[in-house]
Amino acid sequence: MKTIWARKWSILIMMTVATGTAWALARVLVGPEVAAYPVVHADLVRTVVVSGHVETPFRVNIGSQITGTVKDVLVDEGQSVKQGQPLIALDPGELEAALMQTKGAVAQAEARMREVKEFTLPAAQQSLKQAEATLSVAETSFTRADHLLASGAGSRAAYEQATKDLDVARTLARSTELQVYTLSPGGSEYEMARTELDQARANLSSAQVRLGYATISAPRDGVLIARGVERGAGVQPATPLLMLAPTGDTQLVLQVDEKNVGLLRLGQSALASADAYPDERFNATLTYINPSVDIARASLEVKLTVQDPPAYLRQDMTVSVDIAVDRRQGTLVAPAKAVHDPTSASPWVLVVRDGRAQEEPVTVGLRAGDRVEVLGGVAEGELLVPIASGVRAGQRVRAVRS
């Protein structure tokens, strides 16, 4: 017993050597343990992954149509508004005064028109009747004086006076007739009065419209996404005060690398997620591809429409989008890390058969991320050795399914 105890270290060393030798022999005879990946039947989708942002198909800059001072801002940034809802109130003092002036001008022009119709024209018509009567008398007197002078019974003086009276009556009749014409519809006096009334009414309408400009309203339903005005600020036409994102379709605007342009087609489906909500996914459809490439960025702008946007989606949010550009249903799929020279004319794999890693040429199809479609060379369920394992063709291996 003492002898065995004295030789314990020698025995321990011999046992360790024996174990190592046995393990090495097993490794030679059976092969190393290798993680292998099965060929499976699965759906394969190739995607183009792009980042972009959210926006509506168009945005509306809201500004003032007149120069003025902001009396009050009635809405806040981020607020939803309805068409016609007041957004900004301008000081209406000068506009109200201008409106009162135009109302006075309209009243004056209407009075002038009534005067023409109700007083001046009837008076001129009465004067015309009197002038026509006077002309009739003058013509009768002239005819009598002419006959008397011709018969020798009348004097030259009476004839000349009758002639003078006839000329005066004719002149008065023509004058009053012209006055009646100018005061009647179509005449210069009438048309001048009517034009003054029309102009006054037009000025009134313009003043009313300008007073309406003192209240800036929403042109359509939407959400206010920017506000650049405060109470007391002076505003001028064509200066944006608010920005409105109209209610409607939501779009995702992306910049796609031009090397992927050939993969894109209108109508392709996509899955998107906002960076603020990475676990929430929503559907989108490719609806626009810009016909030109941005030279500076070597990219192409595309737009996707979101038919049913989630409630949390906001304007200008950053999103990540996976656009499905190709798809295979129920095909044989192998991990890309097990396929040697996948882009060459002769790709191949190491497949485990009869305990050995055998080199097998394969035909590959669609590549999507870390998976490759296998069109021939291996069967479903066969185990493939990954490239990084260091295993050589013909080597014995003990495959462990991963």
Q: Confidence band (pLDDT; 50, 70, 90) for 347?
A: very high
Residues of the chain within CATH 2.40.30.170 domain(s) are 48-57+246-327
The reported pTM is 0.56
Strands (E), 16-67: 33-38, 40-55, 60-63
Q: Rounded to 5, what percent of the chain is helix, strand, coil?
A: 40, 35, 25
Euclidean distance between CA atoms 35 and 383, whole angstroms? 9
Q: Which residues, listed in sequence order, are joined to residue 234 by a DSSP beta bridge?
A: 69
pLDDT one-digit tens code per residue, 269-282: 999 999 999 999 99
On the question of pLDDT at 176 being above 80, the answer is yes
3-state SS class at 357: strand
pLDDT one-digit tens code per residue, 367-376: 888 899 999 9
On the question of pLDDT at 1 being above 80, the answer is no
Average pLDDT over residues 257-273: 92
Residues of the chain within CATH 2.40.50.100 domain(s) are 62-91+214-245
Residues of the chain within CATH 1.20.120 domain(s) are 94-212
Q: Confidence band (pLDDT; 50, 70, 90) for 13?
A: low
pLDDT one-digit tens code per residue, 203-222: 999 999 999 999 999 998 88
Average pLDDT over residues 333-338: 92
Q: Which residue has the higher pLDDT, 129 or 12?
A: 129
Average pLDDT over residues 328-344: 90
Sheet holding 234-235, edge to edge: 215-217, 86-90, 68-73, 234-235
In sign, the C-alpha dihedral spanning 380, 383, 387, 388 is: positive
> What is 94-212's CATH number?
1.20.120
The token pair that represents 133 in the structure block: 């009567």
* Domain topology for 48-57+246-327: Elongation Factor Tu (Ef-tu); domain 3 (2.40.30)
CATH for the 62-91+214-245 domain, from 1.20.1730.10, 3.40.1160.10, 2.30.110.10, 2.40.50.100 = 2.40.50.100
Give the pLDDT of residue 22: 45
The token pair that represents 12 in the structure block: 């321990």
- Report long-range pairs for 261-269 (Cβ below 8 Å, ≥24 apart): 261/289, 261/293, 261/300, 263/46, 263/48, 263/325, 263/326, 264/48, 264/289, 264/302, 264/323, 264/325, 265/325, 268/323, 268/324, 268/325, 269/323, 269/324
**Distance set, CA 53 to CA 62, 256, 258, 282, 306 (Å):** 23, 13, 18, 14, 12
